[in-house]
Structure 1
């Protein structure tokens, strides 16, 4: 049995926001190393989850923690504090249970916990409870601060709606929203076209052809000298309640909910929407009509067949949304293949997801037996046939889910939750 001095350990660090210098990844790992050195423990590896929220991501869904659990030859995990591992009691208990199953214990440098005794385990759970309470208190303070800003008529921050800009508050501190003289005429034209019955796709094509200025901060893609707009951006502009002088406000909307409800707006004590007529482009009644028109043609199936882009069937009815538990649909965004959730509208680029899955299939399951040969051999024989490739993938796949996350230029593998079938369950 491994003695106290001979214990083998691994280090784990997590951080939600990289700029939090006081608890940086480097500082957490340094403290953990010193802890191990002081006790004569051998450090077998270091694992991190940088830029990952403990509130929004369970430990088992994080790449760093999952890789840690797949490592062998350790009997202790050193973390800086309990809240670096989890901010929810249930997440903490499940992570601890996963370590117990492999005979490993959890050690926190700043929180004196001993998971080997009932008293120590009880104290650790109490710390996790306090961490969860702290996270909820932070959310409550943010919601209260935003509500007060809106009550004062000030701009609460976030993405500035198209056709508007922020300006210094003439009546006190902070900022207020005002109309953007450059983009406001374009906004009025877009809204007029939508109310007259033109589709979002037609309006998008018109804005690209006319060279309409993109929202502030957008990266313009130049094609034949024209500025390229996309359907999602135009649809979002037309669904913003600021068009009727109202302020979006839905603090209770979960991340798994469908796109922001255009009628979830800031209201007075009587429950009536607070309207700033100086910002309104249309009336509240016209805004309601506009939303009905948009909802009538909000899905790709409502488009003309000539406007649809053919997509690969490789992942047809294979990938599920981790939040909505529905299959992701195939579609395109600016002529690039994507998967999207029909409920919450999250998207995932196929140009990066497909190669990621193929690489993992070959690397992690390529040598598994299949049909008298191996998975890799069958894959090579399938060539470029997406239908054949799909069948091979399904023989190995237990589940494939995509969780919501930040969509940007770079592929985020943390969003892909992949589980292979146990070898005993594969029909060879």
Structure 2
């Protein structure tokens, strides 16, 4: 029985992927057997060396089958075609050099190469060069095709990003807004910008935290794309290509960036769920430090961080509740409704970024392009001037009664901390030796004779 150690004949089989129907292993094996018989060899004496799922561009030593073949050093090696050996000139020339050094002959079943003769070696080298050239041309065509589709606003490949779907128009693929997903995105972004977190809003769209954060940071939701970290631009090299209708506005995108920055720096962390009613409103009389919520023998308490004073949460909260209702319970609650205002700062930033790209393009433009670029600059200047004229971020605050008293609003326990803060509450806790340890004051802006209490924004 012929073993790899004493094999004189070798059949090299390689298949880069299962879909290579024309180059199946059975096809390669049958052709190799026919070649061996035609050249006076017994196929039964040949040893097969197989590399399945391996690219022809991979180095010889990194292929298990080829590495074992080279260790066995057979006298004759046959493969189906040249590209089974290698798809790069350098790798095939290395194989030819190895075969010459070890007295091995390389051949293909289609008769294109036979390194037993000088002519055969020359032909083999030339064919390997052609194989590599063909591979590079295919790669170039694929890259150019993707670039062309990107520049024309067409969808290149792969599944559509969340919020969009793929639709066929003019025998090409484009992105269109998926109405259902877009609604979920807008709702989740509203919650995020209004004080939510990425982790808290990701379930609203059914994405992982990582995927949701990536989508929020990208230009996708503006109907644009980025390639290698830079925006995909039109042929003018200035204007971003619109792949689809935007799901969010430029102002939304700006708000998202600001919210993510606040979360990243910790400047706007969400409050703790278990925060006591007077959290942030109660202080130690001795050191002026805030009283933190805590537990002592299973009883909720307010405690000075420095350990000066403490009191049960029930005693402090009951006292504050009684004084709040006595002082403010009959007053009417109002909300502050913001009217007017037209913040176009996000659109102005986008125009400025486009102007910067235009300026860079004009530095290297020739005389034929300069007039076109100057026209674009004039249009951009006009658009920016219109934005500045319409930009009016100042907002008018109009108090509007809600129709309920503060005593009624107090019944909503989740609203109590906000109500107390709105009235400017400050509680100071003194030592136990004092007869009345609690000093409660209200903010100076809320005089006792006020007709309304402006407490929350809408």
1:125 and 1:265, CA in 2 relative to 1: closer, same or farther beyond 3 A? same
Q: Are residues 174 and 276 of structure 1, via their aligned partners in 2, closer, same or farther at CA, if it must alter by over 3 Å?
A: closer
Name the residue aligned to 2:64: 63
Alpha-carbon distance in structure 2 between the residues aligned to 1:150 and 1:32:
45
Change (3 A) 1:149 1:277: closer
Q: Once superposed, what is the RMSD of the aligned Cα atoms?
A: 3.7
Pair 1:175–1:41, CA change in 2 (3 A)? same
Q: Note if 1:237 corresponds to 2:199.
A: no
**2: CA distance between counterparts of 1:45 and 1:176?**
51
Gaps of 5+ in 2: 1-5, 265-458
From 194, 197, 206, the counterpart of 1:213: 206
Q: How far off its partner does 1:127 sit?
A: 0.5
Match of 1:173 among 160, 171, 179: 171
Is 1:144 aligned with 2:144? yes
Change (3 A) 1:182 1:12: farther
User: 1:15 Cα deviation (Å)?
Assistant: 2.9
Alignment match of 2:180 (pick from 179, 182, 185): 182
Please state whether the residue corresponding to 2:127 is helix, strand or coil: helix
Report the CA distance between 1:126 and its aligned residue: 0.6
Separation (CA, whole Å) in 2 of partners of 1:138 and 1:284: 43
After TM superposition, give the deviation of residue 152 of structure 1 in Å: 4.2
The structure number with the bigger radius of gyration is 2
Per-residue deviation, 1:285: 10
> Could you tell me the TM-score, scaled by structure 2's length?
0.48
Shift of 1:147: 3.5
More relative contact order, 1 or 2 (CA 8 Å, 6+ apart): 2
CA distance in 1, matches of 2:217, 2:59: 32
**In 2, Cα distance between equivalents of 1:96 and 1:193:** 66
**Number of positions where the alignment pairs a residue of Structure 1 with one of Structure 2:** 256
Residues 1:181 and 1:24: Cα distance change in structure 2 (over 3 Å): same
Q: Check whether the contact 1:193–1:203 (CA below 8 A) recurs between aligned residues.
A: no
Task: Give me the whole-angstrom Cα distance separating, in 2, the residues matched to 1:194 and 1:90.
Answer: 55
Of stretches 285-294 and 79-88 in structure 1, the one that deviates more from structure 2 is: 285-294
After superposition, the Cα gap between the structure-2 partners of 1:126 and 1:181, relative to the gap in structure 1 and judged at 3 Å, is: same
Alignment of 1:91-110 (within 5 A): 91-110=91-110
1:129-183 alpha-carbon deviations (Å, 9 max, x no partner):
10011111212222333334344433222132122111232xx222211122333
Aligned counterparts of 2:65 and 2:259: Cα–Cα separation in 1: 45
User: Matched residue of 2:11: which SS?
Assistant: strand
Q: Tell me how far apart the structure 2 counterparts of residues 288 and 82 of structure 1 sit (CA, whole Å).
A: 58
| Alpha-carbon offset, residue 59 of structure 1 | 2.7
Taking the aligned partners of 1:23 and 1:156, their CA distance within structure 2 comes to 28
Quote the residue 1:203 is aligned against.
198
Q: Displacement of 1:290 after TM fit?
A: 4.7
- Per the alignment, residue 156 of structure 1 pairs with 156
